[in-house]
Structure 1
């Protein structure tokens, strides 16, 4: 930083020298930790400039927290925040992490009130949780939505409410100064206790939703997601889109929204997460203040367990698009599954983000069938799905499906590459500290840990358990939860000859075959009549469509896409998408 600029910012000489000295020391620490950049010359320049300024007596508190990813050679080197479990007078579970470095406090209230609860109060109200979250701050009996927004803005606070499949979250970020903190919390509680749902606000949000639903109907990538979940989950609460459909949203009335809030946004259905510049006692007082302000209510009942497919099934949905969008998968695991660490590493090897993942190598690098192919276990309160997903040129859909399934089969049956295992674990461990780099990310962990009732040692255990995973554990876990003979395949795009799925795979090159060609299992194939890009919204039905190929399957109509879901993510340390 230019000394002249520092003097402009702070005109008094002691102040400018102190600032310059602090900046110089901080820069040196970061530069030395990150990399060696022309070591001698760079050090001399900064040493001379540092020598010109009088050192400050005030300690630089951030130096103790600086580190470099290059120094992370083992899980023992990874520092994780200490999670405290705070008892409350109402029995509401509360987790707290002290973060005194910044004068802010983050609060997340997580209710068991996701879209899986949409139809518990009245049948067919898909999208009710989503609509409630969007309307929560639209006014109280004494404030309009503009009044609420102006109050949060005056206090420098941020409020949000979001619904997912499993959970409904309400978040507040505020300054820790009591002059701002207390009024912000008061406003949060006023919303939760006295939210009104004006018809004008409902109409506005429904109009916006209708536009979004229409756009999703024009996207094959959106269609494949909703169709996959409906085929996999059938009548289970996870089957329907979190945003609902045009037909279901029209059925929702203001009294449905009020009843949903009064039933599920209650103390006994709540987990609290707090991080920021508070002491333990202050955090405990805050948790009691929140939980005692809400109606006690009742905890939501347990969700039913979905039933897995007993045979392979392929659903082909013709769509006027040059690209075909593909999802292949089946039911997987719950969030508290003890095999989650082995499955995390194994999935990263099979279909993670990097180019070293096997699906990426086989489908993209060797054959040029797609720009990217990925896999993931989606872990939720009850059994979530395992999904392989990608898009490809329409005339390459059959070949890509065969290669993807063959790659999965080989991964389950053939010895795993030890070098790939080592590289995968190293990548997971070195990226892990980045997910703990902010109060917001730590808050996300706390919300997930509390909601899914994971141990408070989860953050510290994660790197140790990832590091300990072996190839034997990976394959044992994958074979336990993945049955290639019972896969669901959904394709939205150009029509194709489904019989070709059972023919051998053509090798990519002599040196890059996906493995010994295996006959794919016979499948039930269902197809639908060709549709234009925009289709009318139809509510779910149990009436079977007339299949082109013999099939014993129920074909459900297309509906809007499933939005990304914080409670239905591929496995990651945060449990977020």
Structure 2
């Protein structure tokens, strides 16, 4: 769910800051005790601000699934004496950009503001974050948008496959059900539920803050207190560790389509695990975003079984997974499943070649600085680093950690990470030669 309205000229978001080696991250302590990370650059008169609240849709109370999702969509629907339209007009008049998003573990707030309008933009955003109106007409209107998305997802094979995988994996944990809720649960939500969700999700004890651009540490410290000081000190309790119930096998869900959507995976690896960088390299070789990955080579290029396929290390706060997805025609789905199993077994047994390891290190270390291509991306990366528990000097040491991975590391971690006998395939379609197994 992205509530996105571009206002600032696109060029502002893509103008790069100095090269990665020159970026200096400062830790800022506000007078009120909040911590923020800052990359200060006065070359362009605007600031990007990223705020994350840990918890997200996993904080939904029993019977209130979808409350945090709907609440987040309503944040920009008015505050104080401004209704939805008045808020939008005030934001646009300041040439400011605000967006609000929520996921299983986080509520995200992104803002970009011109230096000359920064004080007014901060005041407007502070009102939205600390005192949203939640007018009933806005609740009803946005609810209908959410319900429309839910109904569309119920007919989308990719969404069906993801929901089934989550339900099988996570038991009674919030991860087991879609964060946007169901038609029944969202229909039953009230304005009071929005107030409760807001109080539980947006609190100072779970906030992470980053900024990049035309602002000093002193100015940022005052800004974050002004912006967030009106929020509750503590929010709702975070959920505990998710159970892991996913077993190996195949689940076929009948869906009338000439193609089958196939989601596959098993348990994964934590971000703070000492083996993470070896796992990261291994997954890049197996199913990363390049056409040279093994899955793209074996499933697409050699056999023409799909247009695209990838695998991903999924790290959530309370669970980890290795997941992949592809679409294949119904008559080719069974063969695609067998090829994936074979590639999983091959990498588990043999690891990587020297050439694969060297080429992947070159790609990963070379591509990393390109992520720091503007104030917005930099602020987003800084706040993600904080949430992952990474040190403030991580951008300067990350590539060293990639380079330090050895052939012995990848062979050992391949056997640990890739588990062909644990793979579960969820197939949504009418695949020939595939049936459900326990």
TM-score > 0.5 by shorter chain: yes
Q: Specify the alignment match of 2:429 in structure 1.
A: 493
Q: Specify the alignment match of 1:127 in structure 2.
A: 66
- Partner SS, residue 291 of structure 2: coil
8 Å Cα contact 2:168/2:245 also seen in 1: no
8 Å Cα contact 1:309/1:330 also seen in 2: no
Q: Specify the alignment match of 2:9 in structure 1.
A: none
Question: 1-side partners of 2:338 and 2:420: how far apart?
Answer: 12
8 Å Cα contact 1:80/1:436 also seen in 2: no
8 Å Cα contact 2:55/2:238 also seen in 1: no
Question: 1-side partners of 2:18 and 2:234: how far apart?
Answer: 43
Q: Specify the alignment match of 1:153 in structure 2.
A: 92
Deviations 1:216-247 (A, max 9, x none): 22221221112112112222221221222211
Deviations 1:413-460 (A, max 9, x none): 115211122111111122212110111111111121122322112211
Q: Which residue, 342, 350, 361 being the options, matches 2:278?
A: 342
Structure 2 unaligned residues grouped into runs of 5+? 1-14
Is 2:291 the counterpart of 1:355?
yes
Q: Specify the alignment match of 2:200 in structure 1.
A: 263
Is 2:259 the counterpart of 1:320?
no
Q: Specify the alignment match of 1:304 in structure 2.
A: 240
* TM-score, structure 2 normalization: 0.91
Which protein, 1 or 2, shows the higher relative CO under an 8 Å CA cutoff with sep ≥ 6? 2
Question: 2-side partners of 1:310 and 1:490: how far apart?
Answer: 11
* CA 1:488–1:431: 2 relative to 1, 3 Å: same
Q: Specify the alignment match of 2:174 in structure 1.
A: 237
8 Å Cα contact 2:264/2:426 also seen in 1: yes
Q: Which residue, 360, 378, 397 being the options, matches 1:461?
A: 397
Is 2:422 the counterpart of 1:422?
no
What is the 5 A alignment of 1:23-422?
65=18, 79=21, 81-119=23-61, 123-177=62-116, 180-298=117-235, 300-309=236-245, 311-422=247-358
1:311 CA displacement: 4.1
8 Å Cα contact 1:220/1:321 also seen in 2: no
User: Which is richer in strand?
Assistant: 2
8 Å Cα contact 1:115/1:163 also seen in 2: yes
Structure 1 unaligned residues grouped into runs of 5+? 1-61, 67-77, 500-524, 527-550, 552-577
Question: 1-side partners of 2:34 and 2:205: how far apart?
Answer: 6
Moved more, 233-242 or 350-359: 233-242
What is the 5 A alignment of 1:517-536?
525-526=436-437
Question: 1-side partners of 2:335 and 2:321: how far apart?
Answer: 24
* TM-score, structure 1 normalization: 0.70
* CA 1:164–1:487: 2 relative to 1, 3 Å: same
Aligned residues: 424
Q: Specify the alignment match of 2:10 in structure 1.
A: none
Question: 2-side partners of 1:63 and 1:437: how far apart?
Answer: 4
Q: CA RMSD in A?
A: 2.1
* CA 1:356–1:236: 2 relative to 1, 3 Å: same
Deviations 1:171-225 (A, max 9, x none): 2211112xx1111111111112221111111111122223222222222122111
1:141 CA displacement: 3.6
8 Å Cα contact 2:67/2:194 also seen in 1: yes
